[in-house]
Amino acid sequence: MQFPFRSEIRNSPCHPTIKIYLSDESLDDKVRDYLIRFNEIESIEIRESVERNRADENITIFLKNDVDIMKMKSTIDSSLWWYFEKEVVD
């Protein structure tokens, strides 16, 4: 069974990020537009993935300063599960 997405925390020296890899990359723009509603998010970019054994693209989420990245990842994951569940039902 393939999940609709997976997420990872990426710690960079300048700015920790959350990366979302979708199983259907044609939904990248819709998911980005859905996620931008969170006040804790500074910006979101769709980027080409350069890591091995990864999707061709990812949604990279940059958080505002002083946001708890672990809590935010959990919130985003929960919200995306709800989003995909809703999309399948609709």
Q: What does CATH list as the number for 5-89?
A: 3.30.1360.10
Q: Which of 89, 54, 61, 88 is nearest to 75 (CA)?
A: 61
The token pair that represents 25 in the structure block: 């990359």
- The pTM score is 0.86
The token pair that represents 10 in the structure block: 């990426």
70 pLDDT band (50/70/90 cuts)?
A: very high
First to last CA, the chain: 21
Asked whether the CA dihedral 5, 32, 88, 84 is positive or negative, the reply is positive
Decide: helix, strand or coil at residue 14.
coil
- Domain ranges in the chain are 5-89
Give residue-wise pLDDT tens across range 14-61: 788 999 999 999 999 999 999 999 999 999 999 988 766 567 899 999
